[in-house]
């Protein structure tokens, strides 16, 4: 009998499923099956591989509402955002299906006569992907869809908290006709299964989204084995509000980015860098909006802010709030978990706003992954940019201003992988690269055509049709 683990609805603490946990042996078996299947898969023309993704996209589309409900049940995010996430999977399926008809290589003139030179993408073989619970469909699609269309086989470890979405996606691939052995899901709790994937010598690439701490461990093991590793490890994302900003827009942008998904996004806004000239107005208007937010079970369409994923996360968020108070930041609202009387056995945290935060405080430096925002006052545009960049992360940033010169200066100077102008810090589209600078990653990107760089190797091919042995660098006339 396999060991089972419970899947818990974070909105009410109820057990909604039990799933079997894999072990190291199953990882080894999955890799064996993947290796065999990949050899055939790589020979299937890419446009045909892509057909499967079109079918996956269509099934996701047909089942959008039902999948969104399941997603809300196991992850807690509100229905509107759950639908948005399924949509992100649909978009990625169609986009990567299109790549099946491109997968562009390059031709380059050869130095010698009657010689042809080209570079083509080839699959790497078996790849390992490790995905988080906060976007169980979207992030899985950013990684598995390009890997599959490029001709690889995938060993996928989804987060323990959200296995239902992984089951569903695997079933959809099966229904779409993906050959057995190309997508292999292994569940794990703790680090055993993840370590077995990272350490397996036949897995050539690891793509990981999750915490900085785990990402660094994975990177060092991959470094030891000379494996390619692509990492996305969070952010400390800021919205900058200048004096000349459209405040209606800025306030809506902050509220959505900070409290959407209860702040549990890598791209969530957790700092507001505000020009002193509009600080009081921004604070007042944020407080008014927060007052109107409805917190509760995401299945209720009127709810704006759903639960926190589990008790551990709730406690971590609260620890940061205590740290913020001790550091001397001013708590404007929130700062406490919501009580059982009103919210049942789910995990909820009040949307929290600190002001007069110093950029060096821990609540302004470390990722909290919850509905907690630090307002940092500044006196100039230059100071705003400097404060934005003075963190170890570099995922997303945003600026609200009506000065076109500042717009262009900001997109040049903000040191993050994603920059938004007059929009919040969340809402990345799948056909653009997703990832960040500094402690957020290691130079690779999810989604966008750039994801193919993670899951393919470049092969340079020379075809000499001169009929004689031409020696490069020597037989040049
Ligand atoms: C994440 O932040 O964890 O950009 C993923 C967004 C979504 C994906 C977020 N498209 O907000």
Query: Mean pLDDT, the chain, as a whole number?
Result: 97
- pLDDT tens sequence across 107-142: 999 999 999 999 999 999 999 999 999 999 999 999
- pLDDT score at 344: 79
- Please report where in the chains the tokens 């793509």 appear, as a residue: 207
Nearest to 208, CA basis, from 223, 194, 191: 194
Q: How close is the Cα of 423 to the center of ligand 1, in Å?
A: 14
Prediction ipTM score: 0.98
- pLDDT tens sequence across 316-371: 999 999 999 999 999 999 999 997 777 778 999 999 999 999 999 999 999 999 99
Write out residues with Cβ below 6 Å of ligand 1: 88, 134-135, 138, 265-267, 426-428
**Left if phi > 0, otherwise alpha if psi is -120 to 50, otherwise beta: which for 245?**
beta
Please, which residues have CB within 8 angstroms of residue 307's CB and are 6 or more apart in sequence?
10, 11, 76, 262, 297, 298, 346, 347, 348
- pLDDT tens sequence across 198-241: 999 999 999 999 999 999 999 999 999 999 999 999 999 999 99
Give mean pLDDT, residues 19-31.
Answer: 96
Q: Is residue 426 a contact partner of residue 256, using CB atoms and an 8 Å limit?
A: yes
- pLDDT score at 82: 98
Q: Which two tokens stand for residue 365?
A: 């430096």
Q: How close is the Cα of 201 to the center of ligand 1, in Å?
A: 31
Band (pLDDT 50/70/90 cuts) for residue 86 is: very high
- Mutation test of ligand 1: which of 434, 445, 448 has the most ligand atoms closer than 8 Å to its C-beta? 434
Atom of ligand 1 nearest to the CA of 132: 3
Could you tell me what percent of the chain has a pLDDT over 90?
97
Q: Which residues pair with 209 in a beta bridge?
A: 232
State residue 110 phi and psi, 5-degree precision.
-80, 160
Report the distance separating Cα 46 and Cα 120, nearest Å.
13
- Mutation test of ligand 1: which of 89, 426, 445, 448 has the most ligand atoms closer than 8 Å to its C-beta? 426
- pLDDT tens sequence across 292-306: 999 999 999 999 999
- How large is the angle between the packed helices 46-62 and 163-176, nearest 10 degrees? 120
Q: Is residue 154 a contact partner of residue 182, using CB atoms and an 8 Å limit?
A: yes
Give mean pLDDT, residues 54-71.
Answer: 98
Give mean pLDDT, residues 277-293.
Answer: 98
Q: How close is the Cα of 187 to the center of ligand 1, in Å?
A: 23
**Does the predicted model carry a pTM greater than 0.90?**
yes
Sign (positive or negative) of CA dihedral 267, 382, 364, 191: positive
Q: How close is the Cα of 428 to the center of ligand 1, in Å?
A: 6
Residues labelled catalytic: 232
- Mutation test of ligand 1: which of 86, 90, 135, 451 has the most ligand atoms closer than 8 Å to its C-beta? 135
Could you tell me what percent of the chain has a pLDDT over 70?
100
Q: How close is the Cα of 121 to the center of ligand 1, in Å?
A: 28
- pLDDT tens sequence across 419-460: 999 999 999 999 999 999 999 999 999 999 999 999 999 999
Atom of ligand 1 nearest to the CA of 134: 3
């Amino acid at each position: 009998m396999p060991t089972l683990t419970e899947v818990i609805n974070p909105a009410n603490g109820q057990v909604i499923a039990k799933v079997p946990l894999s072990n190291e042996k199953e990882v080894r078996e999955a890799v064996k099956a993947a290796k065999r299947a990949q050899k055939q898969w790589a020979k299937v023309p890419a446009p045909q591989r892509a057909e499967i993704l079109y079918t996956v996209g269509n099934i996701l589309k047909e089942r959008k509402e039902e999948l969104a409900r399941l997603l809300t049940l196991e992850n807690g995010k509100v229905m509107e955002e759950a639908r948005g996430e399924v949509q992100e999977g649909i978009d990625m399926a169609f986009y990567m299906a299109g790549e099946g008809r491109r997968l562009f290589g390059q031709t380059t003139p050869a130095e010698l006569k009657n010689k042809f030179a080209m570079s083509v993408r080839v699959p790497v073989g078996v790849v390992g992907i490790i995905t988080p619970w906060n976007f169980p469909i979207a992030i899985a699609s950013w990684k598995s869809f390009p890997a599959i269309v490029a001709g690889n086989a995938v060993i996928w470890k989804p987060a323990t908290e959200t296995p239902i979405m992984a089951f569903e996606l695997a079933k959809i691939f099966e229904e779409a006709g993906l050959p057995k052995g190309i997508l292999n899901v292994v569940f794990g709790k703790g680090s055993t299964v993840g370590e077995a994937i990272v350490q397996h010598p036949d897995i050539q690439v690891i793509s990981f989204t999750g915490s900085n701490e785990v990402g660094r461990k994975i990177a060092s093991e991959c470094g030891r084995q000379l494996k390619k590793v692509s990492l996305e490890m969070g952010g400390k994302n800021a919205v900058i509000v200048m004096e000349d900003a459209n405040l209606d827009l800025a306030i809506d942008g902050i509220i959505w980015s900070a409290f959407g998904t209860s702040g549990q996004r890598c791209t969530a806004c957790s700092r507001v860098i505000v020009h002193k000239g509009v600080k009081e107005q921004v604070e007042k208007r944020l407080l008014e909006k927060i007052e109107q937010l409805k917190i509760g079970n995401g299945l209720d369409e009127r709810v704006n802010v759903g639960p926190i994923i589990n008790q551990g996360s709730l406690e971590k968020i609260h620890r940061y709030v205590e740290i913020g108070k001790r550091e001397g930041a001013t708590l404007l609202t929130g700062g406490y978990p919501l009580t059982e009387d009103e919210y049942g056995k789910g995990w909820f945290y009040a949307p929290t706003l600190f002001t007069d935060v110093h950029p060096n405080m821990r609540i302004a430096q470390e990722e909290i992954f919850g509905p907690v925002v630090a307002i940092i006052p500044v006196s100039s545009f230059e100071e705003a940019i400097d404060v934005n960049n003075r963190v170890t992360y570099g995922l997303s940033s945003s600026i609200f201003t009506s000065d076109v010169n500042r717009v262009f200066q900001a997109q040049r100077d903000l040191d993050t992988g994603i920059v938004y102008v007059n929009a919040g810090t969340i809402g990345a589209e799948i056909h653009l690269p997703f990832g960040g600078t500094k402690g957020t990653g290691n130079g690779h990107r999810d989604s966008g055509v750039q994801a193919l760089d993670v899951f393919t190797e470049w092969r340079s091919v020379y075809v000499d049709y001169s009929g004689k042995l031409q020696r490069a660098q020597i037989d040049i006339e």
